[in-house]
Structure 1
Amino acid sequence: TPTPTLTAGRTTEVLCFVSDDRLVRVERRVDGTPTVDAQLQHLLAGPTTAERDRGLTTALPGAVPVAAARPRGNEVDVDLGGAGDETGRSDEVLAFGQIVCTLTARSDVDTVAFFRGGAPLGVPRADGSLSRRPLAADDYAGLVAPR
């Protein structure tokens, strides 16, 4: 697959999307380093038309209702909205993986923790286990497409 031409921008933003049930890192050129919340919003907006044309999708709509993201040292706490019941969707692990892999691609973020109503939330890891602890990109390494 040829490497896509990057548009103008002074820095690179990494977003993780989905293709063939794998996480795929995408680099976008942006004018300045986005805040954690801005980068998460870019992820939630989904792939661009050009990225969709390359077969990239997202597992996020409907799977993980993100309400807010707050940096805390080298960890980001992500608050989820919604009713409190997990959807049980088969792509939930990919959705959480997209968030963790996107945010931990930043040099200032090592782990991501998920909360609902202030309580730690058990989220699926690539191996199918649930974790209430902060997650790192390594927790989803088995789902990342080779470069």
Structure 2
Amino acid sequence: MNPSARAVPLLLAALLPLSACGIPETGVVEAGEPATGVLDPGVTSAPSESVPEAVPFVKVPLYFVENGSLVAVDRTVPGPTDLGSTLLMLFKGPDDKERGRGLTTELPRAAEAPTIRTDGTGVSVRLPRSAGSLSDTAVDQLACTVAVARLHQDPALGSAQVTVEQPGGRLAGRSSEDCPLGAATREAPPAPGTAAGPRTGTTGGGTGG
């Protein structure tokens, strides 16, 4: 018998078991897409969490009355603050700790917020009608608080002039140079071209209307 004729049955016999086991006769069959996003060993996936930034605290000088004299109190609050929020704190009066020190206020409780306008070193504060007529000491409290707050906003100004407009158009003016300084203001660096050194004493007697 021809040798090639004998090889055909042997080849068929070898292929039959493979077909019975379900193994395809073709090459490798790919199923699905390759895996993606595989992490390195020891690395776990977790959603990123942003850590909230801590709110800074600032010292805000407020002017109250002690034994008839104007005094500056440095109140520590979450900052930053602006002129409007500073005035709201002032009109609320001394807190429990400050009252315990004997501090008082001559400013009334404000039902409405004053209107504030700034123009360089000048600041104008228009009081609502509900504020009524203020005493000289109350005007000093208001003007000095606003003046020092303005200098904290822009230390390069060197000084600030505050005009308080009371109901009925009555005006009273004050300068930051006439205001006693609190610790926070004394520790602040002096503005360029100004002399360093704390001021002492109470405000000069302005015209409170």
CA contact (8 A) 2:132 2:167 kept: no
Query: Deviation at 1:76?
Result: 1.7
- The amino acid across from 1:12 in the alignment is K
CA contact (8 A) 1:37 1:70 kept: no
CA contact (8 A) 2:144 2:176 kept: yes
Q: 1:59 aligns with which of 106, 129, 142?
A: 106
Query: Deviation at 1:116?
Result: 4.7
2:128 maps to 1:81: yes
Distance 2:58 2:132 in 1: 38
CA contact (8 A) 2:139 2:164 kept: no
Query: Deviation at 1:118?
Result: 9.5
Query: Deviation at 1:19?
Result: 0.8
Q: Which runs of 5+ in 1 are unaligned?
A: 1-7, 124-133
2:143 maps to 1:100: yes
2:43 maps to 1:31: no
CA contact (8 A) 1:23 1:98 kept: yes
Q: Select the structure with the greater relative contact order (CA < 8 A; seq sep ≥ 6).
A: 1
Q: Classify the secondary structure of the residue corresponding to 1:105.
A: helix
Matched residue, 1:115 = 165
Q: Classify the secondary structure of the residue corresponding to 1:42.
A: helix
Distance 1:40 1:84, change over 3 A: closer
Larger Rg: 2
Percent identity reads 30
Distance 1:44 1:24 in 2: 15
Query: Deviation at 1:42?
Result: 0.6
Q: 1:45 aligns with which of 82, 92, 108?
A: 92
Q: How many residues align?
A: 121
- Name whichever structure is richer in strand by fraction: 1
Query: Deviation at 1:80?
Result: 1.9
Runs of 4+ in 1 over 6 A off after TM superposition: none
Structure 2 length-normalised TM: 0.49
Matched residue, 1:143 = 202
Distance 1:42 1:122, change over 3 A: same
Distance 1:103 1:11 in 2: 16
RMSD over aligned Cα, in angstroms?
A: 3.1
Distance 1:116 1:76 in 2: 14
Query: Deviation at 1:31?
Result: 2.1
Structure 1 length-normalised TM: 0.67
CA contact (8 A) 1:13 1:33 kept: no
